[in-house]
């Protein structure tokens, strides 16, 4: 393939990779509200547009579908032309998504504009994660985790002012003001982004690579998306991520209705905040911290082991929340523990994708895996709301989350781990065939 213009940027014009990591983190923080502050808007939207909760939650599902299902195409563009232009385009769409949603007077208009925001968020998310995958093969779990953490923790820094503005000025004004803020921040971050020069490797990579391969199943080849789709391990990974994404998306989308059902939403518990607002704040902080933490753990014990441990813990947390949700303090603490055990899928799954299928097409390949989140959203948003409306209880929804967590946890340990090891051994023999050109050892961006 002919080198793209972004790969021909002179090394002196490429920001240090740690500067780029910070820029990606800031961009991800700026788009976090589109997903994680959504639960605050559901009841005001429902009242203003005079529609059902199920109809409102289709907005969330559409957002997640467009945020995820277009990422493979967006990731391909990032791989070809680089992240700077793509994140610039994403910044415009992120801003317009919330500004348009604030001006929407029909449910269909809301669907359209929030969908625009979903496309923009997907561009930013895929571009930032892909850039971290490429620049940090030596600290992949940690640095992808830090980038993904920003998407989880970003709302924690803004949830209080967003909630206050929503109460004082209404949800429409809040959408418009924060839409402008988010768009400008992403645009500024995009200016610092560039992909690595062709053949670039980090300092002392040869020695580091030997140590990494001793702990982690790491492929010797760069697979194209089509080659990845021919790997049985891809389908195991995709199924696992779908099941695991379901649980966290349920709590993300339905936390406000759940709190209302158990009558803890308006109970003031600490710092002048209600149980709902405090839970959202704590959840977002822990949802962010879990990603670099489990990414770092997986760098040392392997991705599959980290998935197993964390999602057995997730199943326990969900069961405890089901038993104690009616107690405001336990509602805050256990919903936070659920997010701490869940949010790591957004560091562990991109890391394992880069490990098994290589760096060159990492953004596109993880974009395909990331669509599993979109598949899960159909069940987590309107599906969970429908089941609650039909049964009058969240119990069956919680048990579905527990079962999915346990099945995926044991799949990671008993199925994916040996499968990945066999695939890596096979790739080592195929490396000279699939990698047609030896990498160029390029220095310059530590």
For residue 335, what are the contacts with CB-CB under 8 A and spacing of at least 6? 251, 255, 279, 282, 283, 321
Tell me which DSSP letter residue 442 carries.
B
Q: How many CB atoms lie within 10 A of CB 108?
A: 9
Q: Which pLDDT tens digit goes with each residue over 261-299?
A: 888 988 998 888 889 889 988 887 888 889 999 999 998
Q: Residue 18's pLDDT band (boundaries 50, 70, 90)?
A: very high
- What value does the CA radius of gyration of the chain take, rounded to a whole number of Å? 21
pLDDT at res. 430: 60
pLDDT at res. 234: 96
pLDDT at res. 59: 92
Q: Is the dihedral of CA 56, 61, 67, 73 positive or negative?
A: negative
The proportion of the chain whose per-residue pLDDT surpasses 90, expressed as a percent, equals 54
For the domain made up of 16-200+219-425, the CATH class stated in words is mainly alpha
Q: Report whether 71 contacts 125 (CB < 8 A).
A: yes
Q: Can you list the positions of beta strands (E) in 273-314?
A: 273-274
pLDDT at res. 25: 95
Crossing angle of helices 38-49/159-169, nearest 10°? 10
Residue 242 three-state SS: helix
**What phi and psi, each to the nearest 5 degrees, are found at residue 359?**
-90, -40
- Report the predicted TM-score, pTM, of the whole model to 2 decimal places: 0.77
**What phi and psi, each to the nearest 5 degrees, are found at residue 443?**
-105, 175
pLDDT at res. 442: 42
pLDDT at res. 5: 45
Q: How many CB atoms lie within 10 A of CB 145?
A: 31
Q: Which pLDDT tens digit goes with each residue over 326-378?
A: 999 999 999 999 989 888 999 999 999 999 998 889 889 999 998 998 888 87
pLDDT at res. 120: 96
Tell me which DSSP letter residue 82 carries.
-
- Dist CA 117 CA 112 (whole Å): 9
Instruction: Name which of 152-161, 192-201, 219-228, 317-326 the model is least confident about.
Output: 152-161
The residue with tokens 């769409």 is 93
Q: Report whether 94 contacts 31 (CB < 8 A).
A: yes
Tell me which DSSP letter residue 214 carries.
H
pLDDT at res. 207: 82
User: Which DSSP string corresponds to 258-275?
Assistant: HHHHTT-TT-EEETTEEH
pLDDT at res. 429: 65
SS3 content of the chain, % helix, strand, coil (to 5): 80, 0, 20
Longest dimension (CA), the chain: 64
Please state the domain extents for the chain. 16-200+219-425
For residue 186, what are the contacts with CB-CB under 8 A and spacing of at least 6? 27, 30, 31, 87, 90, 91, 94, 95, 124
Q: What does the block give as tokens for 87?
A: 């994140």
Q: Which pLDDT tens digit goes with each residue over 211-256?
A: 787 778 787 788 999 999 999 999 999 999 999 999 888 887 788 8
Q: Report whether 229 contacts 371 (CB < 8 A).
A: no
Q: Is 393 exposed, middle or buried (0-12, 13-18, 19+ CB in 10 A)?
A: exposed
Closest by Cα among 409, 411, 419 to 308: 409
- Dist CA 276 CA 161 (whole Å): 15
How close are the terminal C-alpha atoms of the chain, in Å?
A: 26
User: Which DSSP string corresponds to 146-176?
Assistant: HHHHHHHHGGGGTHHHHHHHHHHH-HHHHHH
- Dist CA 39 CA 28 (whole Å): 19
pLDDT at res. 2: 44
**What phi and psi, each to the nearest 5 degrees, are found at residue 268?**
-80, 125
Residue 7 reports pLDDT greater than 50: no
Query: Could you tell me the CA-to-CA distances from 325 to 89, 302, 336 in Å, in that order?
Result: 42, 34, 12
Closest by Cα among 388, 397, 240, 386 to 319: 397
Q: Residue 1's pLDDT band (boundaries 50, 70, 90)?
A: very low
């Amino acid at each position: 393939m002919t080198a793209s213009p972004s790969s021909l940027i002179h090394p002196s014009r490429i920001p240090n990779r740690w500067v780029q990591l910070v820029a990606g983190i800031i961009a991800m923080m700026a788009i976090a509200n589109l997903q994680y502050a959504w639960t605050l808007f559901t009841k005001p939207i429902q009242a203003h547009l005079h529609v059902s909760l199920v109809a409102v939650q289709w907005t969330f599902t559409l957002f997640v579908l467009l945020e995820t299902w277009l990422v493979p195409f967006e990731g391909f563009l990032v791989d070809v032309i680089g992240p700077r232009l793509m994140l610039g385009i994403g910044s415009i769409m992120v801003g317009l998504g919330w500004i348009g949603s604030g001006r929407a007077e029909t449910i269909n208009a809301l669907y359209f504009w929030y969908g625009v925001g979903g496309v923009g968020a997907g561009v930013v998310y895929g571009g930032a994660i892909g850039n971290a995958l490429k620049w940090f093969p030596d600290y992949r779990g940690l640095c992808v985790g830090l980038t993904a953490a920003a998407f989880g923790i970003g709302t924690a820094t803004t949830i209080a002012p967003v909630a206050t503005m929503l109460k004082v000025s209404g949800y429409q004004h809040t959408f418009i003001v924060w839409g402008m803020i988010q768009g400008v921040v992403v645009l500024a971050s995009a200016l610092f982004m560039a992909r690595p020069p062709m053949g670039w490797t980090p300092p002392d990579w040869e020695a580091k690579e030997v140590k990494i391969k001793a702990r982690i199943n790491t492929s010797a080849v760069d697979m194209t998306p089509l080659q990845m789709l021919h790997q049985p391990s891809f389908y195991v990974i995709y199924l696992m991520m779908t099941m695991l994404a379901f649980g966290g998306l349920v709590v993300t989308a339905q936390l406000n209705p759940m709190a209302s059902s158990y009558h803890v939403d308006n109970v003031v518990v600490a710092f002048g905040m209600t149980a709902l607002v405090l839970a959202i704040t704590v959840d977002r902080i822990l949802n962010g911290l879990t990603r670099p933490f489990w990414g770092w753990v997986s760098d040392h014990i392997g991705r599959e082991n980290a998935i197993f441990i964390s999602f057995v813990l997730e199943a326990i947390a969900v069961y405890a929340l089901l038993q104690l949700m009616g107690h405001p303090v336990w509602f805050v603490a256990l919903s936070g523990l659920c997010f701490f055990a869940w949010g790591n899928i957004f560091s562990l799954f991109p890391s394992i994708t880069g490990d098994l299928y290589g760096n060159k097409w990492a953004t596109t390949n993880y974009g395909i895996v990331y669509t599993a989140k979109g598949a899960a959203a159909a069940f987590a948003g309107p599906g969970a709301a429908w089941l609650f409306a039909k049964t009058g209880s969240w119990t069956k929804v919680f048990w579905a989350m527990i079962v999915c967590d346990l099945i995926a946890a044991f799949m990671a340990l008993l199925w994916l781990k040996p499968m990945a090891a066999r695939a890596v051994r096979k790739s080592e023999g195929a490396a000279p065939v699939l990698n047609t050109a030896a990498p160029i050892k390029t220095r310059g961006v530590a």
